[in-house]
Amino acid sequence: MPASWAAASRCADEMADPGAVSDALVPGSGKVAGSAEIADAAQLAGAAEIYDVLVVGAGPAGSGAARAAAAGGARVCVLERSAMPRYKTCGGGLVGLSTDHVGIDLSGLVRSTVSELTITLDGRYEVSRHRRDAHPWLSMVMRSELDAALLAAAQTAGASVRTGVQVLGLEESAADGGFVAVRVRDGRDLRARVVIGADGTSGRCGTYVGVHCDQVDVGLEGEFVVERAVADRWAGRMLLDWGPVPGSYGWVFPKGRVLTVGVIGDRSRGGELRGYYRRLVERLGLTDAPREHDSGHLTRVRAAGSPLRRGRVLVAGDAAGLLDPWTREGISFALRSGRLAGEAAVAAVAAQRGAGSAGSAGLTALDGYPAKVERILGPEMVAGAEVLAAFTRRPVVMHALLSSPGTFGLFTRLIEGRTTIARQLRRPGVRAAVVALAR
Ligand SMILES: Cc1cc2nc3c(=O)[nH]c(=O)nc-3n(C[C@H](O)[C@H](O)[C@H](O)COP(=O)(O)OP(=O)(O)OC[C@H]3O[C@@H](n4cnc5c(N)ncnc54)[C@H](O)[C@@H]3O)c2cc1C
């Protein structure tokens, strides 16, 4: 039994996470299908479990990691505290980079696609544009359904899954070639050569690794069930509203008879954001519409240099603070970092097997993960932060710019994943404009 466990929680104010994930099922969600059995916490009791890779959390980062690691031949188990499918406060908007990296057939999951975009500045100066060709800008999913499908894909690749299992802490040991002991609520410890922490914004793994963030936002969001006539008005169209709280924005994402409406912005201005959310819902005429869910959740953006690994533990997705600081788009970051973590874990396990009990060979193989994340996702995050600074300082100018046909076209190419903010900021004219606006 390890002598001490990782700090059980982040600092107290962050434990006031308004988005504690609800276990409520979204109507119409399917049961997770897959090749491996799903066990619950009770089945864990009494078992002495040793895996190559334990993945904590079954969001896009965790399932992406588990799938990559299992496909690479590792013995993998995913530990998820909720019953699946589970609700997650999220717009469920899949940008091009998400659909590019999701790795599963989305045709049965996409509730709606968007080829018309309306942008407003706190409800005013409305500009709408639509695509003339058949390709949509964005695909809309229910996160409960997407996450269940991604988990099923991980199971099909060979990962086993245990739901209703809450991880409480991690402890590394040099014994037996090196392993991580994972302590779970109401069950015996599990062990693995590598742990991938994909347990979201307020998870234990980020605390263990020492992730630190310099931007913390809160998102407030509801799923509104609307009359058919209202649904028809929004079919194929989404709204982005630049909000009155600096750096904030709101959205309407259409999903048939459900509209996902939300706002996101600086957590320290939570009271103002609640007022903004209420007014947005009023303006849309939805105050009395039934809500399937109405909840809040934090997003946290890692600070420069924040660790992505400690010993045999890697962090991915929200657990590592990986998301776009401006749009707060995180699914593509979770999918990409999850897969990279899974691949690094496979390399580490293989190196350790090759080295027998001289387990430090595996540790060297894990070094590739932070380096790849910094190289691939780092520039995107830096660029997103620069645009957020301009957007926070000069929302009116940003609205005017984004409303003009040229910049609007650029914005939609970003959404589609045909370019990135980082690539655009390498153009001297664009960089100069963004830097000037941020002053
Ligand atoms: C309001 C809002 C709207 C958003 N809209 C969008 C959007 O439209 N498009 C987009 O791309 N991104 C959006 N995001 C961001 C996106 O939701 C996240 O970036 C994404 O969910 C990150 O995935 P993840 O797998 O890292 O973490 P999560 O999806 O949060 O998954 C973490 C999992 O870990 C589990 N877990 C937590 N703690 C433990 C524990 N101790 N033991 C076991 N399991 C545990 C949780 O139950 C959960 O299933 C939005 C965020 C917010 C707040």
Which CATH number fits the domain that encloses residue 121?
Answer: 3.30.9.10
- Structural domain span for residue 269: 110-140+213-301
Question: Is the domain of 117 the same as that of 222?
Answer: yes
Question: Is the domain of 339 the same as that of 412?
Answer: no
Asked whether residue 35 is assigned to any structural domain, the reply reads: yes
Distance, CA of 174 to CA of 179 (rounded, Å):
7
Residue indicated by tokens 């089945």: 43
Question: Is the domain of 267 the same as that of 150?
Answer: no
Distance, CA of 189 to CA of 181 (rounded, Å):
6
Distance, CA of 390 to CA of 397 (rounded, Å):
9
Closest by CA to 75, choosing from 349, 305, 384, is: 349
- Local structure of 337: helix, strand or coil: helix
Q: Provide long-range contacts, Cβ within 8 A and 24+ apart, for 229-234.
A: 230/259, 230/285, 231/256, 231/257, 231/259, 234/259
| Ligand 1 atom with minimal separation from the 166 CA | 42
Give yes or no for a contact between 280 and 122, defined as CB atoms under 8 angstroms apart: no
> Which stretches within 157-260 are classed as H helix?
204-209, 228-234
Question: Is the domain of 182 the same as that of 249?
Answer: no
Q: How far is CA 139 from CA 100, 149, 240, 412, in A?
A: 12, 16, 15, 13
| Ligand 1 atom with minimal separation from the 253 CA | 8
Residues, the chain: 439
Asked whether residue 374 is assigned to any structural domain, the reply reads: no
Question: Is the domain of 218 the same as that of 297?
Answer: yes
Asked whether residue 377 is assigned to any structural domain, the reply reads: no
88 CA from centroid of ligand 1 (Å): 6
Asked whether residue 87 is assigned to any structural domain, the reply reads: yes
Distance, CA of 396 to CA of 414 (rounded, Å):
20
Asked whether residue 353 is assigned to any structural domain, the reply reads: yes
The neighbouring-strand residues paired with 315 are 197
Q: Based on the structure, what is the number of domains in the chain?
A: 3
| Ligand 1 atom with minimal separation from the 199 CA | 34
Question: Is the domain of 287 the same as that of 433?
Answer: no
201 CA from centroid of ligand 1 (Å): 7
Residue indicated by tokens 């706002």: 263
Given this model, what pLDDT does residue 92 score?
98
Q: At 253, which amino acid appears? A: F
| Assigned token pair, 239 | 């709204």
Distance, CA of 88 to CA of 86 (rounded, Å):
7
Could you read off the pLDDT tens digit of each residue along the chain, which spans 439 residues? 333 223 222 222 233 333 332 222 222 222 223 333 334 443 444 444 689 999 999 999 999 999 999 999 999 999 999 999 999 999 999 999 999 999 999 999 999 999 999 999 999 999 999 887 778 899 999 999 999 999 999 999 999 999 999 999 999 998 888 899 999 998 889 999 999 999 999 999 999 999 999 999 999 999 999 999 999 999 999 999 999 999 999 999 999 999 999 999 999 999 999 999 999 999 999 999 999 999 999 999 999 999 999 999 999 999 999 999 999 999 999 999 999 999 999 999 999 888 765 556 678 889 999 999 999 999 999 999 999 999 999 999 999 988 888 888 888 888 988 888 888 888 888 888 888 888 8
> Which stretches within 88-142 are classed as H helix?
96-101
Asked whether residue 250 is assigned to any structural domain, the reply reads: yes
426 CA from centroid of ligand 1 (Å): 30
| Assigned token pair, 66 | 């588990």
Give yes or no for a contact between 265 and 247, defined as CB atoms under 8 angstroms apart: yes
Q: Indicate which residue's Cα is closest to atom 19 of ligand 1.
A: 330
Q: How far is CA 50 from CA 3, 66, 76, 77, 191, in A?
A: 19, 16, 10, 10, 5
Q: Of 274, 301, 328, which closes a domain?
A: 301
What is the domain-level CATH number for residue 98?
A: 3.50.50.60
Question: Is the domain of 255 the same as that of 228?
Answer: yes
Question: Is the domain of 148 the same as that of 248?
Answer: no
61 CA from centroid of ligand 1 (Å): 8
| Assigned token pair, 367 | 């070094």
List pocket residues of ligand 1, CB cut-off 6 Å.
21, 56-62, 79-82, 88-93, 98, 166-167, 198-200, 203-204, 219, 221, 262, 264, 297, 299, 317-319, 323, 328-331, 334
Q: Of 278, 301, 324, which closes a domain?
A: 301
Distance, CA of 47 to CA of 44 (rounded, Å):
6
Residue 279's Cβ-count burial label (10 Å; 0-12, 13-18, 19+) is middle
Q: Indicate which residue's Cα is closest to atom 10 of ligand 1.
A: 329
Residue whose CB lies within 8 A of the most ligand 1 atoms, among 23, 86, 90, 195, for a mutation test:
90
435 CA from centroid of ligand 1 (Å): 31
Question: Is the domain of 96 the same as that of 72?
Answer: yes
Asked whether residue 310 is assigned to any structural domain, the reply reads: yes
Question: Is the domain of 34 the same as that of 163?
Answer: yes
Question: Is the domain of 82 the same as that of 185?
Answer: yes
| Ligand 1 atom with minimal separation from the 205 CA | 41
Q: How far is CA 256 from CA 51, 103, 113, 260, in A?
A: 42, 24, 10, 10
Distance, CA of 425 to CA of 330 (rounded, Å):
20
For the entire predicted model, the pTM comes to 0.90
Q: Of 301, 318, 350, which closes a domain?
A: 301
Q: Indicate which residue's Cα is closest to atom 21 of ligand 1.
A: 331
Report the greatest alpha carbon distance in the chain: 66
Q: Indicate which residue's Cα is closest to atom 17 of ligand 1.
A: 90
Question: Is the domain of 255 the same as that of 166?
Answer: no
Asked whether residue 373 is assigned to any structural domain, the reply reads: no
Distance, CA of 168 to CA of 205 (rounded, Å):
9
